[in-house]
Amino acid sequence: MLNLIDRALREDIGDGDLTTAAVVPEGSRARARIEQKAAGVAAGLGVAGAVFERVDPELDWRAHAREGEWREGGLLAEVEGRAASILTAERVALNFLGRLSGVATATARYAKAVEGTGARVLDTRKTTPGLRALEKEAVRLGGGVSHRSGLFDAILVKENHAELAGGVGEAARRALAAAPAGVTVEVECATLDEVSDALEAGVTRLLLDNMSIDELRGAVELAGGRAELEASGGITLDTIRAVAETGVDYISVGALTHSAPALDVSLLLDPLE
């Protein structure tokens, strides 16, 4: 995480904070309040605190909220120390905090929409480059479940893989034969015929891509408990409940990370004697 923070700070500060150097009297001290200005889930407080510490280890950071807590707004944290250090770290810290809280908040809304159905909300690999681990942790804090971390920790046979292998059934058999011990094999299916082919090959987890509600119900019936089922493709807050009620086990939502709006947070500073 520190490498990521360092890159973000270099991007913002460059050769120095020209405004702060020009305007803020040397030796000035301040206390700053970080406020949550909209309802949502707090996430990224640890990262934000680490940003301030990276800029100035003598800054005193105090969080006033718990990670993963839904709040209507109010005080998230305070930071006290050199005023110049607080101002230099401010934007990078708030960018992490707002972004990650936004992902957690979006996830919480989707998770709330499927309560009582047994379905779990999954993230995807549609993450901000370099921020995947942090965004996936924000999904978890919002009540979602993390899918595979990347291409290295699970096998997911997609449409293009199947096309090159000669079909879903053949791709599934190859994937199962080549999978290292303990590695999950999941196969994407766009039709009920492909569901049958994947089940016949012995796959125990299927991704049901862009299927209608009726097709999802048909896939659940075909699987008959032999495989975990994940619905995916264009699912929104307005449609996710109906998808969950078909009986699928998981619902993956790319919007959790690729379209979540940042939660509105701000920093207000008070000078100290």
Burial 32-61 (b: 16+ CB within 10 A, else e): bbbebeeebbbbbbbbbbbbbbbbbeebeb
pLDDT in tens, 134-147: 999 999 999 999 88
The answer to whether the beta carbons of residues 238 and 268 sit under 8 Å apart is no
Tell me what pLDDT residue 132 has: 97
Average pLDDT, the chain: 97
Q: Is the pLDDT score of 12 beyond 90?
A: yes
CATH fold group of domain 2-110+260-272: Aldehyde Oxidoreductase; domain 3 (3.90.1170)
Every domain of the chain with CATH number 3.90.1170.20 lies at: 2-110+260-272
What CATH number labels 112-258?
3.20.20.70
Q: Is the pLDDT score of 1 beyond 90?
A: no
* Average pLDDT, integer, range 201-230: 98
C-alpha angle with apex 170: 166 to 172, nearest 5 degrees? Answer: 125
Give the separation between CA 16 and CA 144, rounded to whole angstroms: 39
Give the separation between CA 232 and CA 229, rounded to whole angstroms: 10
pLDDT in tens, 97-122: 999 999 999 999 999 999 999 999 99
Give the separation between CA 62 and CA 33, rounded to whole angstroms: 10
Collapsed DSSP state (helix, strand, coil) of residue 87: helix
Q: Tokens 């030796």, residue?
A: 27
pLDDT in tens, 159-211: 999 999 999 999 999 999 999 999 999 999 999 999 999 999 999 999 999 99
Every domain of the chain with CATH number 3.20.20.70 lies at: 112-258
Report the catalytic residues: 91, 126, 158, 188, 209
Tell me what pLDDT residue 221 has: 98
Give the separation between CA 134 and CA 100, rounded to whole angstroms: 7
Both tokens of 207, joined, read: 């991704």
pLDDT in tens, 38-63: 999 999 999 999 999 999 999 999 99
CA distances (Å), 112 to each of 115, 134, 187, in order? 5, 22, 27
Give the pLDDT band (50/70/90) at residue 31: very high
